[in-house]
Structure 1
Amino acid sequence: MFVIQLISLLLAAEIAVVSSSCSSKLERSLFDDLIGMMLKLKGTEHGGHGNEMKLKETPAFSVYRNSPQSLSSSTVVKFDRVWTNNLNGYDVSTGVFTVPVAGLYHFSAVVMSESDKQLFLNLWHNDSKTAGSLSSGNGYKTGTFDVVLDVKKGDRIYIRCRDNNAQKIYSDTDNYSTFSGYLIAK
Protein backbone atom coordinates (compact mmCIF):
# COMPACT_ATOMS: atom_id res chain seq x y z
CA MET A 1 0.00 0.00 0.00
CA PHE A 2 2.88 2.36 0.85
CA VAL A 3 4.41 1.80 -2.61
CA ILE A 4 1.14 2.70 -4.36
CA GLN A 5 0.77 5.87 -2.25
CA LEU A 6 4.36 6.83 -2.95
CA ILE A 7 3.90 6.32 -6.68
CA SER A 8 0.67 8.34 -6.57
CA LEU A 9 2.52 11.23 -4.89
CA LEU A 10 5.39 10.98 -7.37
CA LEU A 11 2.92 10.84 -10.23
CA ALA A 12 1.15 13.98 -9.00
CA ALA A 13 4.48 15.80 -8.60
CA GLU A 14 5.76 14.57 -11.98
CA ILE A 15 2.62 15.76 -13.77
CA ALA A 16 2.95 19.20 -12.16
CA VAL A 17 6.61 19.47 -13.25
CA VAL A 18 5.95 18.04 -16.71
CA SER A 19 3.02 20.30 -17.47
CA SER A 20 5.11 23.38 -16.76
CA SER A 21 8.15 22.41 -18.82
CA CYS A 22 7.36 19.80 -21.54
CA SER A 23 5.32 19.37 -24.66
CA SER A 24 1.97 17.56 -24.39
CA LYS A 25 3.39 14.60 -26.39
CA LEU A 26 6.26 14.11 -23.91
CA GLU A 27 3.88 14.66 -21.00
CA ARG A 28 1.59 11.89 -22.27
CA SER A 29 4.56 9.56 -22.79
CA LEU A 30 5.80 10.09 -19.23
CA PHE A 31 2.31 9.62 -17.88
CA ASP A 32 1.89 6.34 -19.82
CA ASP A 33 5.25 5.09 -18.50
CA LEU A 34 4.28 5.90 -14.91
CA ILE A 35 0.90 4.18 -15.24
CA GLY A 36 2.66 1.13 -16.71
CA MET A 37 5.05 1.01 -13.76
CA MET A 38 2.14 1.28 -11.30
CA LEU A 39 0.29 -1.55 -12.98
CA LYS A 40 3.37 -3.77 -12.92
CA LEU A 41 3.92 -3.08 -9.23
CA LYS A 42 0.27 -3.76 -8.50
CA GLY A 43 0.31 -6.93 -10.64
CA THR A 44 -2.66 -5.95 -12.82
CA GLU A 45 -1.04 -5.53 -16.20
CA HIS A 46 -2.44 -7.84 -18.90
CA GLY A 47 -5.82 -8.60 -17.31
CA GLY A 48 -4.71 -9.12 -13.72
CA HIS A 49 -1.91 -11.60 -14.39
CA GLY A 50 1.21 -9.45 -14.37
CA ASN A 51 3.55 -10.78 -17.04
CA GLU A 52 2.90 -14.47 -16.41
CA MET A 53 0.12 -14.98 -19.02
CA LYS A 54 0.08 -13.77 -22.58
CA LEU A 55 -3.12 -12.92 -24.44
CA LYS A 56 -3.38 -16.22 -26.34
CA GLU A 57 -2.65 -18.17 -23.13
CA THR A 58 -5.58 -16.60 -21.27
CA PRO A 59 -8.65 -18.85 -21.28
CA ALA A 60 -11.51 -16.97 -22.95
CA PHE A 61 -14.38 -17.71 -25.28
CA SER A 62 -17.08 -15.69 -27.00
CA VAL A 63 -19.59 -17.61 -29.12
CA TYR A 64 -22.96 -16.97 -30.75
CA ARG A 65 -25.83 -18.40 -32.77
CA ASN A 66 -26.90 -16.92 -36.08
CA SER A 67 -29.95 -19.17 -36.46
CA PRO A 68 -32.79 -20.44 -34.21
CA GLN A 69 -32.41 -23.60 -32.09
CA SER A 70 -35.30 -25.79 -30.95
CA LEU A 71 -34.86 -27.12 -27.43
CA SER A 72 -36.57 -30.08 -25.84
CA SER A 73 -36.46 -30.81 -22.13
CA SER A 74 -32.92 -30.45 -20.69
CA THR A 75 -31.28 -29.70 -24.08
CA VAL A 76 -27.97 -27.81 -23.95
CA VAL A 77 -27.93 -24.59 -25.98
CA LYS A 78 -25.35 -24.86 -28.75
CA PHE A 79 -23.73 -21.59 -29.68
CA ASP A 80 -22.34 -22.83 -32.97
CA ARG A 81 -20.29 -19.85 -34.17
CA VAL A 82 -17.04 -18.61 -32.62
CA TRP A 83 -15.54 -15.16 -32.24
CA THR A 84 -12.91 -16.16 -29.65
CA ASN A 85 -11.91 -19.56 -28.25
CA ASN A 86 -8.50 -19.24 -26.61
CA LEU A 87 -7.21 -22.66 -25.47
CA ASN A 88 -10.21 -24.30 -27.24
CA GLY A 89 -12.25 -24.64 -24.05
CA TYR A 90 -15.61 -24.18 -25.79
CA ASP A 91 -16.92 -27.09 -27.90
CA VAL A 92 -19.40 -25.93 -30.59
CA SER A 93 -20.66 -29.50 -31.10
CA THR A 94 -21.77 -29.88 -27.45
CA GLY A 95 -22.32 -26.27 -26.30
CA VAL A 96 -20.09 -26.89 -23.28
CA PHE A 97 -17.11 -24.87 -22.04
CA THR A 98 -14.60 -27.15 -20.31
CA VAL A 99 -12.33 -25.12 -18.02
CA PRO A 100 -8.70 -25.42 -19.25
CA VAL A 101 -7.12 -23.51 -16.33
CA ALA A 102 -8.48 -23.34 -12.77
CA GLY A 103 -9.39 -19.92 -11.39
CA LEU A 104 -12.01 -17.23 -11.04
CA TYR A 105 -14.04 -16.77 -14.25
CA HIS A 106 -16.67 -14.33 -15.46
CA PHE A 107 -19.48 -15.81 -17.59
CA SER A 108 -22.21 -13.91 -19.39
CA ALA A 109 -24.89 -14.69 -21.93
CA VAL A 110 -27.74 -13.02 -23.76
CA VAL A 111 -30.34 -15.36 -25.23
CA MET A 112 -33.38 -14.24 -27.25
CA SER A 113 -36.77 -15.94 -27.22
CA GLU A 114 -39.07 -16.44 -30.19
CA SER A 115 -41.64 -13.66 -30.58
CA ASP A 116 -44.45 -13.98 -28.00
CA LYS A 117 -42.95 -17.19 -26.53
CA GLN A 118 -41.53 -17.98 -23.12
CA LEU A 119 -37.90 -19.04 -22.78
CA PHE A 120 -36.64 -20.45 -19.46
CA LEU A 121 -32.97 -21.40 -19.27
CA ASN A 122 -30.40 -22.20 -16.59
CA LEU A 123 -26.64 -21.70 -16.48
CA TRP A 124 -25.00 -24.89 -15.20
CA HIS A 125 -21.68 -25.52 -13.46
CA ASN A 126 -21.03 -29.25 -13.84
CA ASP A 127 -24.32 -30.79 -12.63
CA SER A 128 -25.53 -27.80 -10.60
CA LYS A 129 -27.77 -24.90 -11.65
CA THR A 130 -26.16 -21.55 -10.90
CA ALA A 131 -28.55 -19.00 -12.38
CA GLY A 132 -31.85 -18.86 -14.21
CA SER A 133 -33.18 -16.68 -16.98
CA LEU A 134 -36.88 -16.29 -17.83
CA SER A 135 -38.03 -14.35 -20.89
CA SER A 136 -41.75 -13.96 -21.54
CA GLY A 137 -44.25 -11.47 -22.91
CA ASN A 138 -45.13 -9.92 -26.23
CA GLY A 139 -42.49 -9.73 -28.94
CA TYR A 140 -38.91 -10.92 -28.83
CA LYS A 141 -37.34 -10.87 -25.36
CA THR A 142 -33.81 -11.45 -24.09
CA GLY A 143 -32.73 -13.24 -20.98
CA THR A 144 -29.28 -12.73 -19.51
CA PHE A 145 -26.72 -14.41 -17.29
CA ASP A 146 -23.85 -12.62 -15.58
CA VAL A 147 -21.95 -14.62 -12.95
CA VAL A 148 -18.49 -15.04 -11.50
CA LEU A 149 -17.52 -18.60 -10.55
CA ASP A 150 -14.50 -20.19 -8.89
CA VAL A 151 -13.88 -23.26 -11.07
CA LYS A 152 -11.44 -26.13 -11.32
CA LYS A 153 -9.67 -27.44 -14.40
CA GLY A 154 -12.05 -29.81 -16.19
CA ASP A 155 -15.27 -28.24 -14.81
CA ARG A 156 -18.06 -27.81 -17.36
CA ILE A 157 -20.11 -24.64 -17.90
CA TYR A 158 -23.16 -24.61 -20.18
CA ILE A 159 -26.68 -23.28 -20.69
CA ARG A 160 -29.57 -25.71 -20.69
CA CYS A 161 -33.31 -25.61 -21.28
CA ARG A 162 -35.47 -25.97 -18.19
CA ASP A 163 -36.64 -29.56 -17.66
CA ASN A 164 -40.38 -29.17 -18.15
CA ASN A 165 -41.05 -27.87 -21.64
CA ALA A 166 -39.93 -27.51 -25.24
CA GLN A 167 -38.76 -24.04 -26.27
CA LYS A 168 -36.92 -22.24 -29.03
CA ILE A 169 -34.03 -19.79 -29.03
CA TYR A 170 -34.21 -17.09 -31.66
CA SER A 171 -31.24 -15.68 -33.51
CA ASP A 172 -30.38 -14.65 -37.03
CA THR A 173 -27.50 -12.98 -38.87
CA ASP A 174 -27.60 -10.15 -36.29
CA ASN A 175 -26.34 -12.68 -33.69
CA TYR A 176 -28.86 -11.96 -30.92
CA SER A 177 -27.85 -14.94 -28.77
CA THR A 178 -24.32 -14.94 -27.31
CA PHE A 179 -22.30 -16.67 -24.57
CA SER A 180 -18.88 -15.60 -23.22
CA GLY A 181 -16.47 -16.44 -20.44
CA TYR A 182 -12.93 -15.59 -19.44
CA LEU A 183 -10.41 -16.04 -16.65
CA ILE A 184 -10.27 -13.14 -14.20
CA ALA A 185 -7.63 -14.49 -11.81
CA LYS A 186 -5.73 -17.72 -11.12
Structure 2
Amino acid sequence: MRFSLLFSFVIVVGLCSYKFSEAREPVCSKFAYEEQLLEKMIRTEIKVETMVNEFKKTEDNVISTLGDIKQTVADFTDMFADMRGNITDEMLKRGDEIKRREESFKTSFEETRKNLTSDIEAEKEKLFQLQGKLEQPPIAFYAHHLKDMLLDTTNEVLIFEKTFTNEGTGYDTSTGLFTAPVGGLYQFDVHTCARYSKYAHLGLVMEGSVIAADANYGDDSSGCNNFGAIVRVKLGEKVWVKSTSSGSTRELIQNTYRMNTFSGMLVNN
Protein backbone atom coordinates (compact mmCIF):
# COMPACT_ATOMS: atom_id res chain seq x y z
CA MET A 1 0.00 0.00 0.00
CA ARG A 2 2.89 2.33 0.79
CA PHE A 3 4.35 1.86 -2.67
CA SER A 4 0.99 2.44 -4.38
CA LEU A 5 0.54 5.72 -2.59
CA LEU A 6 4.06 6.76 -3.42
CA PHE A 7 3.58 5.86 -7.08
CA SER A 8 0.40 7.91 -7.21
CA PHE A 9 2.21 10.83 -5.69
CA VAL A 10 4.99 10.63 -8.30
CA ILE A 11 2.44 10.56 -11.13
CA VAL A 12 0.63 13.56 -9.74
CA VAL A 13 3.89 15.49 -9.39
CA GLY A 14 4.89 14.58 -12.95
CA LEU A 15 1.62 15.73 -14.36
CA CYS A 16 1.84 18.95 -12.51
CA SER A 17 5.35 19.55 -13.81
CA TYR A 18 4.31 18.78 -17.30
CA LYS A 19 1.43 21.19 -17.12
CA PHE A 20 3.59 23.80 -15.57
CA SER A 21 6.21 23.55 -18.27
CA GLU A 22 3.61 23.56 -20.94
CA ALA A 23 1.47 26.44 -19.72
CA ARG A 24 4.15 28.16 -17.65
CA GLU A 25 1.62 28.75 -14.87
CA PRO A 26 0.59 26.75 -11.80
CA VAL A 27 -2.05 24.33 -12.89
CA CYS A 28 -1.81 22.00 -9.83
CA SER A 29 -3.46 24.25 -7.35
CA LYS A 30 -6.61 22.18 -7.45
CA PHE A 31 -4.60 19.11 -6.18
CA ALA A 32 -2.89 20.92 -3.29
CA TYR A 33 -5.25 19.50 -0.69
CA GLU A 34 -4.93 15.99 -2.04
CA GLU A 35 -1.16 16.33 -2.07
CA GLN A 36 -1.08 17.48 1.52
CA LEU A 37 -3.47 14.70 2.52
CA LEU A 38 -1.37 12.14 0.69
CA GLU A 39 1.77 13.43 2.37
CA LYS A 40 0.11 13.14 5.80
CA MET A 41 -1.03 9.64 4.95
CA ILE A 42 2.51 8.70 3.97
CA ARG A 43 3.95 10.18 7.13
CA THR A 44 1.25 8.46 9.15
CA GLU A 45 1.97 5.16 7.40
CA ILE A 46 5.69 5.60 8.14
CA LYS A 47 4.89 6.26 11.80
CA VAL A 48 2.55 3.32 11.89
CA GLU A 49 5.21 1.13 10.30
CA THR A 50 7.73 2.41 12.83
CA MET A 51 5.26 1.69 15.61
CA VAL A 52 4.62 -1.76 14.16
CA ASN A 53 8.35 -2.42 14.11
CA GLU A 54 8.66 -1.20 17.68
CA PHE A 55 5.67 -3.28 18.67
CA LYS A 56 7.25 -6.24 16.91
CA LYS A 57 10.46 -5.71 18.85
CA THR A 58 8.46 -5.37 22.06
CA GLU A 59 6.50 -8.49 21.17
CA ASP A 60 9.76 -10.35 20.49
CA ASN A 61 11.14 -9.17 23.82
CA VAL A 62 7.96 -10.22 25.59
CA ILE A 63 8.02 -13.60 23.87
CA SER A 64 11.69 -13.99 24.77
CA THR A 65 11.00 -12.96 28.34
CA LEU A 66 8.05 -15.36 28.51
CA GLY A 67 10.33 -18.05 27.17
CA ASP A 68 12.89 -17.28 29.84
CA ILE A 69 10.16 -17.30 32.50
CA LYS A 70 8.82 -20.57 31.16
CA GLN A 71 12.30 -22.06 31.24
CA THR A 72 12.83 -20.73 34.76
CA VAL A 73 9.52 -22.23 35.84
CA ALA A 74 10.49 -25.52 34.22
CA ASP A 75 13.88 -25.43 35.92
CA PHE A 76 12.23 -24.58 39.22
CA THR A 77 9.68 -27.38 38.70
CA ASP A 78 12.48 -29.86 38.03
CA MET A 79 14.42 -28.58 41.01
CA PHE A 80 11.32 -28.78 43.19
CA ALA A 81 10.65 -32.29 41.94
CA ASP A 82 14.19 -33.28 42.86
CA MET A 83 13.85 -31.58 46.23
CA ARG A 84 10.52 -33.26 46.78
CA GLY A 85 12.06 -36.59 45.90
CA ASN A 86 14.93 -35.96 48.29
CA ILE A 87 12.57 -34.74 50.98
CA THR A 88 10.34 -37.77 50.44
CA ASP A 89 13.33 -40.11 50.74
CA GLU A 90 14.52 -38.28 53.85
CA MET A 91 11.03 -38.43 55.33
CA LEU A 92 10.83 -42.14 54.62
CA LYS A 93 14.21 -42.66 56.25
CA ARG A 94 13.15 -40.59 59.23
CA GLY A 95 9.89 -42.51 59.39
CA ASP A 96 11.75 -45.82 59.40
CA GLU A 97 14.10 -44.52 62.09
CA ILE A 98 11.19 -43.32 64.20
CA LYS A 99 9.45 -46.66 63.77
CA ARG A 100 12.62 -48.53 64.73
CA ARG A 101 13.05 -46.37 67.82
CA GLU A 102 9.40 -46.83 68.68
CA GLU A 103 9.75 -50.61 68.50
CA SER A 104 12.93 -50.44 70.59
CA PHE A 105 11.17 -48.24 73.13
CA LYS A 106 8.20 -50.61 73.27
CA THR A 107 10.51 -53.57 73.85
CA SER A 108 12.50 -51.72 76.51
CA PHE A 109 9.31 -50.47 78.14
CA GLU A 110 7.82 -53.97 78.21
CA GLU A 111 10.97 -55.43 79.79
CA THR A 112 11.03 -52.61 82.33
CA ARG A 113 7.34 -53.14 83.07
CA LYS A 114 7.87 -56.85 83.63
CA ASN A 115 10.85 -56.20 85.90
CA LEU A 116 8.95 -53.56 87.83
CA THR A 117 5.95 -55.85 88.13
CA SER A 118 8.17 -58.62 89.47
CA ASP A 119 9.88 -56.24 91.88
CA ILE A 120 6.53 -54.83 93.01
CA GLU A 121 5.17 -58.32 93.65
CA ALA A 122 8.28 -59.20 95.66
CA GLU A 123 7.98 -55.98 97.67
CA LYS A 124 4.27 -56.62 98.21
CA GLU A 125 5.09 -60.07 99.57
CA LYS A 126 7.67 -58.55 101.91
CA LEU A 127 5.13 -55.93 102.93
CA PHE A 128 2.52 -58.58 103.67
CA GLN A 129 5.02 -60.48 105.77
CA LEU A 130 6.00 -57.32 107.59
CA GLN A 131 2.37 -56.43 108.09
CA GLY A 132 1.79 -59.89 109.55
CA LYS A 133 4.66 -59.33 111.93
CA LEU A 134 3.36 -55.92 112.91
CA GLU A 135 -0.12 -57.25 113.48
CA GLN A 136 1.28 -60.14 115.52
CA PRO A 137 1.36 -59.37 119.25
CA PRO A 138 4.79 -59.26 120.94
CA ILE A 139 5.96 -62.48 122.55
CA ALA A 140 7.73 -62.03 125.91
CA PHE A 141 7.49 -63.32 129.45
CA TYR A 142 9.17 -62.61 132.77
CA ALA A 143 8.37 -65.11 135.57
CA HIS A 144 9.51 -65.19 139.21
CA HIS A 145 8.84 -66.69 142.67
CA LEU A 146 9.69 -70.36 142.78
CA LYS A 147 7.10 -72.80 144.09
CA ASP A 148 9.75 -75.16 145.53
CA MET A 149 13.35 -74.23 146.28
CA LEU A 150 14.59 -77.65 147.25
CA LEU A 151 16.45 -79.30 144.41
CA ASP A 152 16.02 -82.81 145.74
CA THR A 153 14.91 -84.40 142.48
CA THR A 154 17.02 -84.62 139.34
CA ASN A 155 15.35 -83.24 136.20
CA GLU A 156 12.73 -81.54 138.34
CA VAL A 157 11.10 -78.62 136.48
CA LEU A 158 11.44 -75.30 138.29
CA ILE A 159 8.01 -73.69 138.43
CA PHE A 160 7.98 -69.89 138.64
CA GLU A 161 4.51 -69.15 139.94
CA LYS A 162 4.18 -65.46 139.12
CA THR A 163 4.74 -63.29 136.07
CA PHE A 164 5.38 -59.62 135.60
CA THR A 165 5.04 -60.00 131.85
CA ASN A 166 3.44 -62.70 129.74
CA GLU A 167 2.76 -61.21 126.28
CA GLY A 168 1.41 -63.88 124.00
CA THR A 169 0.58 -66.09 127.04
CA GLY A 170 3.37 -68.49 126.15
CA TYR A 171 4.47 -69.16 129.75
CA ASP A 172 2.38 -71.43 131.97
CA THR A 173 2.71 -70.61 135.70
CA SER A 174 1.20 -73.97 136.64
CA THR A 175 3.78 -76.12 134.80
CA GLY A 176 6.80 -73.82 134.45
CA LEU A 177 6.85 -74.48 130.70
CA PHE A 178 7.10 -71.90 127.94
CA THR A 179 5.38 -72.97 124.69
CA ALA A 180 6.30 -70.90 121.64
CA PRO A 181 3.10 -69.36 120.19
CA VAL A 182 5.14 -68.22 117.17
CA GLY A 183 8.19 -69.80 115.61
CA GLY A 184 11.31 -67.65 115.54
CA LEU A 185 14.53 -66.61 117.22
CA TYR A 186 14.20 -66.32 121.00
CA GLN A 187 16.41 -65.13 123.83
CA PHE A 188 16.07 -66.83 127.27
CA ASP A 189 17.62 -65.78 130.57
CA VAL A 190 17.70 -67.56 133.96
CA HIS A 191 18.68 -65.88 137.23
CA THR A 192 18.96 -68.07 140.38
CA CYS A 193 20.39 -67.71 143.88
CA ALA A 194 21.93 -70.65 145.81
CA ARG A 195 21.40 -70.72 149.57
CA TYR A 196 24.43 -70.21 151.82
CA SER A 197 26.72 -73.27 151.70
CA LYS A 198 24.34 -74.95 149.24
CA TYR A 199 24.67 -75.80 145.55
CA ALA A 200 22.43 -75.19 142.58
CA HIS A 201 23.02 -77.22 139.42
CA LEU A 202 20.53 -76.05 136.81
CA GLY A 203 19.94 -76.34 133.09
CA LEU A 204 17.93 -74.48 130.41
CA VAL A 205 16.08 -77.10 128.37
CA MET A 206 14.42 -77.01 124.93
CA GLU A 207 12.36 -80.03 123.95
CA GLY A 208 14.32 -82.25 126.36
CA SER A 209 17.81 -81.02 125.34
CA VAL A 210 19.92 -78.84 127.68
CA ILE A 211 20.94 -75.73 125.75
CA ALA A 212 22.57 -73.86 128.70
CA ALA A 213 23.72 -74.88 132.22
CA ASP A 214 24.96 -73.34 135.46
CA ALA A 215 26.59 -74.56 138.69
CA ASN A 216 26.31 -72.12 141.61
CA TYR A 217 27.47 -72.30 145.21
CA GLY A 218 26.49 -70.08 148.14
CA ASP A 219 29.98 -69.34 149.53
CA ASP A 220 30.28 -66.63 152.17
CA SER A 221 26.71 -65.64 151.54
CA SER A 222 23.99 -66.75 149.19
CA GLY A 223 25.29 -66.43 145.67
CA CYS A 224 23.31 -65.55 142.50
CA ASN A 225 24.18 -66.41 138.90
CA ASN A 226 22.82 -65.69 135.42
CA PHE A 227 22.82 -67.95 132.37
CA GLY A 228 20.81 -68.17 129.20
CA ALA A 229 20.79 -68.75 125.44
CA ILE A 230 19.60 -67.41 122.12
CA VAL A 231 17.97 -70.17 120.13
CA ARG A 232 15.51 -70.67 117.29
CA VAL A 233 12.30 -72.25 118.51
CA LYS A 234 9.61 -73.70 116.27
CA LEU A 235 5.93 -73.09 116.75
CA GLY A 236 4.67 -75.22 119.65
CA GLU A 237 8.10 -76.22 120.99
CA LYS A 238 8.66 -75.98 124.75
CA VAL A 239 11.43 -74.44 126.88
CA TRP A 240 11.90 -74.75 130.67
CA VAL A 241 14.41 -74.74 133.55
CA LYS A 242 15.29 -77.91 135.49
CA SER A 243 17.67 -79.20 138.13
CA THR A 244 20.49 -81.24 136.67
CA SER A 245 21.68 -82.63 140.04
CA SER A 246 19.80 -83.41 143.26
CA GLY A 247 20.57 -83.99 146.94
CA SER A 248 20.34 -82.45 150.37
CA THR A 249 23.01 -79.92 149.52
CA ARG A 250 21.02 -78.57 146.53
CA GLU A 251 18.80 -75.63 147.41
CA LEU A 252 17.86 -72.13 146.24
CA ILE A 253 16.85 -69.07 148.24
CA GLN A 254 14.52 -66.16 147.61
CA ASN A 255 13.69 -63.17 149.78
CA THR A 256 13.38 -59.40 149.64
CA TYR A 257 16.95 -59.09 148.35
CA ARG A 258 17.17 -62.14 146.10
CA MET A 259 14.89 -63.24 143.28
CA ASN A 260 14.91 -66.28 141.05
CA THR A 261 13.60 -65.45 137.58
CA PHE A 262 13.03 -67.03 134.18
CA SER A 263 12.44 -64.80 131.16
CA GLY A 264 12.31 -64.99 127.40
CA MET A 265 11.30 -62.99 124.33
CA LEU A 266 10.90 -63.32 120.60
CA VAL A 267 13.77 -61.52 118.91
CA ASN A 268 12.93 -62.16 115.26
CA ASN A 269 10.66 -64.47 113.36
| TM-score in terms of structure 2 length | 0.47
Give RMSD over aligned pairs. Answer: 2.2
Per the alignment, do residues 101 and 117 of structure 1 end up closer, same or farther by CA in structure 2, a change over 3 Å counting? same
Equivalent in the alignment of 1:64: 144
**CA gap 1:153/1:77 in 2 versus in 1, 3 angstroms:** same
Is 2:179 the partner of 1:98?
Answer: yes
Larger Rg computed on CA atoms: 2
**C-alpha deviations, 1:36-87, integer Å up to 9, x for none?**
xxxxxxxxxxxxx966445981111001116762222211111111100111
Please report how far the alpha carbon of residue 178 of structure 1 lies from its aligned counterpart in structure 2 after TM superposition: 0.9
Q: Which has the higher contact order (CA 8 A, sep 6+)?
A: 1
**Contact 1:67 1:171 (8 Å CA) reproduced:** no
Amino acid at match of 1:145: F
Q: Matched residues in 2 for 1:56 and 1:180: separation?
A: 20
TM, length-normalised to structure 1:
0.67
Consecutive unaligned residues of structure 2, counting only runs of 5 or more, are: 1-128
* Deviates further, 118-127 or 162-171: 162-171
1:109 aligns with 2:190: yes
What is the CA deviation profile of residues 73-117 of structure 1, one whole-angstrom value per residue up to 9, with x for unaligned ones? 211111111100111110111111011100000111111111111
In 2 relative to 1, CA 171–67 (structure 1 residues): closer, same or farther, beyond 3 Å?
farther
TM-aligned CA deviation for residue 143 of structure 1:
2.2
Contact 1:121 1:162 in 2 (8 A): yes
Which consecutive segments of 4 or more residues in structure 1 shift more than 6 A? none
Provide the residue aligned with 1:139 in structure 2: 221
SS in 1 for 2:150: strand
Q: Is the 8 A contact 1:63 1:178 kept in 2?
A: yes
Which of 210, 214, 230 is the matching residue for 1:148? 230
Whole-angstrom distance in 2 between the partners of 1:54 and 1:112? 37
Q: Distance in 1 between matches of 2:255 and 2:146?
A: 4
Please tell me whether the aligned partners of residues 114 and 169 of structure 1 are also in contact (alpha carbons under 8 angstroms). yes
Aligned position for 2:252: 169
Q: Distance in 2 between matches of 1:78 and 1:175?
A: 17
Paired with 2:167 and 2:135, the residues of 1 have a C-alpha distance of 9
Secondary structure (helix, strand or coil) at the match of 1:81 reads strand
Q: Quick check: 1:121 aligned with 2:202?
A: yes
Q: Structure 1's 103 and 115: CA in aligned 2 closer, same or farther, altered over 3 A?
A: same
Q: Which has the higher strand share?
A: 1
Could you tell me whether the CA contact under 8 Å between 2:148 and 2:158 is conserved in 1?
A: no
- Considering fraction of residues, name the structure with more helix: 2
Cα drift, residue 142 of structure 1: 1.3
State the Cα distance separating 1:165 from its structure 2 match: 3.2
The match for 1:20 is none
Distance 1:101 1:142, change over 3 A: same
Alignment length, in residue pairs?
138
Identity of aligned residues (%): 26
Name the stretch that deviates more: 126-135 or 65-74: 65-74
After TM superposition, list the pairs within 5 Å mapping 1:37-52 onto structure 2.
52=132
